[in-house]
Structure 1
């Protein structure tokens, strides 16, 4: 996609498209309120976008809502015929795919079990490209414009490189350029926790105000940090590896090679590993336990098993310590706890609250609102799909030569 700077008119078009992408279908007056634009400016911009087929008008809405001079609001939205994007998430030997049209509507999804951990770089990219191509072909998606891919680990979004990932066997993987060459499409990559954070904040306007820290628990522990709804980047345009902050030097083994990381106490693999030691339950066939295996551990704890209840109590304390670190280092307005690990939030919550209150300066603790968002891994593909759509919108915002 072009990196040329936008003209002032193109910038205004981009702002308008971004508003519709975030908020969904809006009437012209609502667009003006969101963007602080005059009615004349909104009408001028939307007229050209409608003429170009980028936007479509919906006059079939509820005529009892928002009457203006006896006429119902006409809402504008993206046309569904501008092409599609594919969102991909790579986990431990598994791939999740989602196909979305240009209006943001889900068209198809697929789950693929595929060994990835031991593949060399070229073979890994071949497998991913073939999987994406087959998925698009099987769903008659001949107009895929872009691909977004979420991956665990340290992801350099600027250069499109996965510097390190616990689920891939190669370092400094030029994933974006390698996939783009194979697919003939633009490819953007993102850390999976940042992708989930982006999707969650797009769903809730309140979380797009101020500073929002999304702490994802599940296969691992990750952090997505947003300022005014936009992801905060580090020096290499990557996200945070907050799950690998060390809490205790002599703590349990972590996948990163260290000991005592936040993740080593709290991730699914850590909880299942400790549950195995407690009651000799069967080991998972893969390093990462299945959702069924984790649900079985949670159910047994809820039934009153004292050892497993203590396991979740200690995990809740670690989660509280982690939230306290965020509060006292970043001063977020919102902390969102999300991810598949929220399946056990009722077991984690009492010790989480106690640890947060006892280990956090009260004046700082009062500044942050805690939210729990139950979420599956599906939302990871939603996050990169939304980012890919926004990149597509950048090209749509450009004025075409006469």
Structure 2
């Protein structure tokens, strides 16, 4: 399984859980801010925070102005998580790439590492052995002996309830029980997430405005993925997975997609698709791996910005597809916010004219007016950040439980 055992919380434990979750999502807050945020009375907040402070789960710190004596009156303290409650490791598996991040219980980044490692052709057991060895070596190399959980982000269709990767374009095994396999090898709970959903969750954690209403985050890069959130929580399908929006077919008989189909949104927008078409235009060298690196993509973008007409047409066509894709989101989900994120936003200046024209021509104006579109420059560390936050929230559930005297 992917998470801790589901044992019902008592009313007091539920209140502790709400308070801890608010601090995890909003960051350090004063008691009065906690009360306003949760709708709790000052007496209830004081009682809850006193026990959490006594247990060493929270720590208190005066603000800088109060500590310096610039503000008179009763000191205002902010509460935040202690950093000594254990750590979590976030992992992202890409095409022959692994990203790792170590974060303490206060949410502070302690170490990170990028590893190039062949993964695509590994069998199930060998893949899980490699990942377990990599995670163990990373933890030992950072001196982390208090790791409590692993958060794992994967490309493809991920069943988050049962911890199964049903299908991934970067792994060679279907219906892979990755959470249980890694959990057995590491002796730790493993929580899994689709990587687009992980990035969407991290982005909304950084921007409180995006945690209101419905937010659709369209991630463009190695592939095209969608994370959809309602009031800041990820939407789950029937198998507790996310959306495979990148594999919605736009045009029958279109270009080849990694999923085996043709004409998918991803087959027009993903880095591998743009690089493939650029090769046909100017016979540039093929990437050494199936997926082009950032340097290869930047080269195409800069050449287009310099005025190469064929490459400009390539990005114009991609912008039209992006506009069609966002139009589908608007007219099927009616989101309050649409976030365009991922490495593919590096070329947004080239995509924007045709993107906006396609969106305007293909979308019902009244619906288009309801959705605010944001472009968020985003790095791959958001993938591990998203699963780290989720893993910490799972650990907070255990912290919320009252310990027997």
Q: Distance in 1 between matches of 2:317 and 2:92?
A: 30
2:356 equivalent to 1:353? yes
* Residues 271-291 of structure 1: CA deviation (Å, up to 9, x unaligned): 000001101110001011000
2:112 equivalent to 1:109? yes
Q: Distance in 1 between matches of 2:186 and 2:361?
A: 52
Instruction: Point out 4+ residue stretches in structure 1 off by more than 6 angstroms.
Output: 64-69
Distance apart, 1:168 and its partner CA:
0.1
Match for residue 325 of structure 1? 328
Where do residues 316-395 of structure 1 align in structure 2 (5 Å cutoff)? 316-395=319-398
Which ranges in structure 1 are unaligned for 5 or more consecutive residues?
none
SS in 2 for 1:155: strand
- TM-score norm. by structure 1 comes to 0.98
Match for residue 25 of structure 2? 22
2:293 equivalent to 1:277? no
* Residues 236-267 of structure 1: CA deviation (Å, up to 9, x unaligned): 00000000000000110000000000000000
Q: Distance in 1 between matches of 2:75 and 2:316?
A: 54
Distance apart, 1:64 and its partner CA:
8.9
Q: Distance in 1 between matches of 2:42 and 2:72?
A: 16
Where do residues 182-193 of structure 1 align in structure 2 (5 Å cutoff)? 182-193=185-196
Q: Distance in 1 between matches of 2:225 and 2:107?
A: 26
- TM-score norm. by structure 2 comes to 0.98
Q: Distance in 2 between matches of 1:118 and 1:309?
A: 36
2:308 equivalent to 1:305? yes
Distance apart, 1:2 and its partner CA:
3.0
How large is the RMSD of aligned CA atoms in angstroms?
1.3
2:49 equivalent to 1:43? no
- Residues paired across the two proteins, number: 402
C-alpha contact (below 8 Å) 2:320/2:354 kept by paired residues:
yes
Q: Distance in 1 between matches of 2:14 and 2:215?
A: 26
| Distance 1:328-1:398 versus aligned 2 partners, 3 A rule | same
* Residues 167-208 of structure 1: CA deviation (Å, up to 9, x unaligned): 000000000000000000000000000000000001111000
Which ranges in structure 2 are unaligned for 5 or more consecutive residues?
none
* Residues 150-174 of structure 1: CA deviation (Å, up to 9, x unaligned): 0000000011000000000000000
C-alpha contact (below 8 Å) 1:319/1:352 kept by paired residues:
yes
* Residues 344-367 of structure 1: CA deviation (Å, up to 9, x unaligned): 011111111111000000000000
Q: Distance in 1 between matches of 2:135 and 2:297?
A: 29
2:133 equivalent to 1:130? yes
2:151 equivalent to 1:155? no
Q: Distance in 1 between matches of 2:77 and 2:71?
A: 10
C-alpha contact (below 8 Å) 1:218/1:341 kept by paired residues:
yes
Q: Distance in 2 between matches of 1:258 and 1:64?
A: 62
Q: Distance in 1 between matches of 2:6 and 2:70?
A: 42
SS in 2 for 1:62: helix
Match for residue 250 of structure 2? 247
Match for residue 145 of structure 2? 142
